[in-house]
Amino acid sequence: MRFELLRPQSLSEALEFKKQNGEKAKVLAGGTDLLVLLKDQKLTADLVMSLARIRELDFIRFEKGRGVTIGALASHAAVAASPVIQQNFPDLAEACSQVGAVQIQNLGTIGGNLCNASPAADAAPPLLLTDAVLILASARGERSVSVHDFFHGPRQTALQADEILKEIFIPEISGRRGATYLKLGRRKAMEIAIVGVGVAIHLNGSDRVVSECRIAMGSVAPIPVRARRGEVMFKDQEVRDELIEEVAEIAAEEASPISDIRGTRDYRLDMIRVLCRRGVRAALNRALDKKEEGLS
């Protein structure tokens, strides 16, 4: 594997390289996906542009009343350890803390996880539970793309040839919201998800009635997906066991998993039901524990 390595010192320098070289300059963040593909010759590149020196992309910033912004180069370890993320988006912290092993969490970035666009990307389901916006930068300027429109297919995203993911903005979510991310792998660590399910439940005021439920699933379709038909069944309802069963069944119907070395289609469908049931109960308990409040 031989390639020319570009090492821009700033975002503007990187964007200028991208403007000149487009698709030819492969972006390298932590390299835990890209270098594996290059080494296995599943991808070839003459030119690789490392973002490692662009420290302005490595941050997690919280603005009260607005939301959280995560730089594309923030590592999974940093996201998982961030008190702001743990407190407000515990599902995202849970997802990042389950990516590979410690070495991968230290090297791998949240931006690389999203841009690699694997159906199994662990950071995707928690972000699909929010109205997160991805800021894509190019020498032409910046544009915002909803996380719901970012994934186009396996390894295909809304990114254009001259663009770089700069940051992810998650708007503040106030009120009694509980969320969780559950992942099934063949082992407890260092494993790509066989199925990953994120659930967020928002309760009405001080009672037990659900104002909104969101369910997002990974490894069950060509891109990470929401189980929208299942979600709406909770609207304005109290969570009951029979309803959880029904929603888990419908969520499985909304998935289109394949059989591969990690699991068969039928096993994945079964596991969606199991993780949905557990996820709804866990998210509900977290919501019930919350007082009316915004980000903290």
Ligand X SMILES: Cc1cc2nc3c(=O)[nH]c(=O)nc-3n(C[C@H](O)[C@H](O)[C@H](O)COP(=O)(O)OP(=O)(O)OC[C@H]3O[C@@H](n4cnc5c(N)ncnc54)[C@H](O)[C@@H]3O)c2cc1C
Residues that bind ligand X (CB under 6 A): 26-34, 36, 51, 72, 99-100, 104, 107-109, 111-113, 115-116, 120-122, 159, 164-165, 190-192
- Is residue 196 within 8 A of residue 172, CB to CB? The reply is no
To 10 degrees, what angle do helices 265-289 and 241-254 make?
140
Q: Which is nearer to ligand X, 25 or 201 (CB)?
A: 25
- Is residue 30 within 8 A of residue 109, CB to CB? The reply is yes
Residue 75 Cβ vs ligand X, minimum distance, rounded to whole Å: 8
Q: Which is nearer to ligand X, 111 or 230 (CB)?
A: 111
Q: Which is nearer to ligand X, 36 or 288 (CB)?
A: 36
**Could you tell me how many residues make up the chain?**
296
Residues 6+ apart with CB under 8 A from 1: 38, 39, 41
Residue 16 Cβ vs ligand X, minimum distance, rounded to whole Å: 15
Residue 34 Cβ vs ligand X, minimum distance, rounded to whole Å: 4
Q: Which residue is nearest to ligand X (CB)?
A: 112
Q: Which is nearer to ligand X, 136 or 215 (CB)?
A: 136
What are the distances in angstroms from CA 286 to CA 87, 132, 177, 279? 11, 21, 7, 11
Q: Which is nearer to ligand X, 48 or 276 (CB)?
A: 48
Residue 117 Cβ vs ligand X, minimum distance, rounded to whole Å: 8
CA distance 144 to 138: 12
CA distance 193 to 230: 22
Residue 165 Cβ vs ligand X, minimum distance, rounded to whole Å: 4
